[in-house]
Amino acid sequence: MLFNRFYQPDIDVETLEVVPRLVLSDSSELLLRLRWLAILSGRGGMQLACSGGVHTESDALRALAAGAGAVQLVSALLKHGPEHLTRVRDGVTRWLMEHEYDSLAQLRGSMNLAHCPDPAMFERGNYTRILQGWKG
Ligand SMILES: Cc1cc2nc3c(=O)[nH]c(=O)nc-3n(C[C@H](O)[C@H](O)[C@H](O)COP(=O)(O)O)c2cc1C
């Protein structure tokens, strides 16, 4: 499972007490998972599930393309209710049909490190190149 989102308590500086803080995720948390799914699923021999930052059909599709065998949604279901699962599933099915995929298996792992046309994009060494391309 990549990666469980741990419950992280906070500190109140006035009372110096540990306070509970439940922060639901958003899609930006997915990028860490995409990178590690792509790196690890490319090595084979492991079934990986994606947990953290999956909110939309696009998130689910990207996780699957990076190599997830399954995706888990928690924050999205708390925000939008359990019927959101049907919307995401139908969206994935529609995307596969529109893009003429025969099956989910055809998409799964198609963008992992072993298949990605630009594997360097997943590597940290690429950081310098990305920063050089930044336009403020
Ligand atoms: C309200 C809430 C309660 C959770 N409780 C637990 C828990 O008891 N144990 C655990 O391992 N993970 C728990 N999680 C983490 C989820 O199992 C899951 O890893 C994470 O929320 C997935 O990311 P997502 O919320 O972006 O979908 C909880 C998450 C939320 C939002």
pLDDT digits (tens, 9 = 90+) for 59-72: 999 999 999 999 99
Distance separating alpha carbons of residues 127 and 51, to the nearest angstrom? 25
Residue 125: band (very low, low, confident or very high) from pLDDT cuts 50, 70, 90 = low
Residue located nearest, by CA, to atom 5 of ligand 1: 7
Query: Is the residue at 107 inside a domain?
Result: yes
The pLDDT of residue 130 is above 80: no
Q: Is 63 in the pocket of ligand 1 (CB under 6 A)?
A: no
Query: Is the residue at 16 inside a domain?
Result: yes
Residue located nearest, by CA, to atom 15 of ligand 1: 5
Q: What is the pTM of this model?
A: 0.87
Ligand 1 atom closest to the CA of 1, numbered from 1: 19
The number of folded domains in the chain is 1
Residue 136: band (very low, low, confident or very high) from pLDDT cuts 50, 70, 90 = confident
pLDDT tens by residue, 16-60? 999 988 899 999 999 999 999 999 998 878 899 999 999 999 999
> What is the b/e burial string over 106-127, where b = at least 16 CB atoms within 10 angstroms of the residue's CB?
ebbbebbbeebeebeebeeeee
* pLDDT in the model for residue 128: 72
Query: Is the residue at 117 inside a domain?
Result: yes
**Ligand 1 centroid – CA 136 distance (Å):** 36
Domain containing residue 42: CATH number: 3.20.20.70
Query: Is the residue at 2 inside a domain?
Result: no
Query: Is the residue at 1 inside a domain?
Result: no
**Ligand 1 centroid – CA 73 distance (Å):** 9
- Which residue pairs from 128-133 have beta carbons closer than 8 angstroms and sit at least 24 positions apart in sequence? none
Query: Is the residue at 3 inside a domain?
Result: no
Q: Is 72 in the pocket of ligand 1 (CB under 6 A)?
A: yes
Query: Is the residue at 4 inside a domain?
Result: no
Query: Is the residue at 126 inside a domain?
Result: yes
φ/ψ of 9, rounded to 5, equals -70, 160
Percent of the chain with pLDDT over 70: 97
* pLDDT in the model for residue 106: 96
Pocket test for ligand 1, best of 1, 2, 7 (most atoms within 8 A of CB): 7
Give percent helix, percent strand, percent coil of the chain, each to the nearest 5: 45, 10, 45
Domain range spanning residue 94?
A: 10-132
What does the pLDDT average to over 93-98? 98
Query: Measured between alpha carbons, how far is residue 90 from residues 11, 67, 68, 96 in Å?
Result: 41, 20, 18, 10
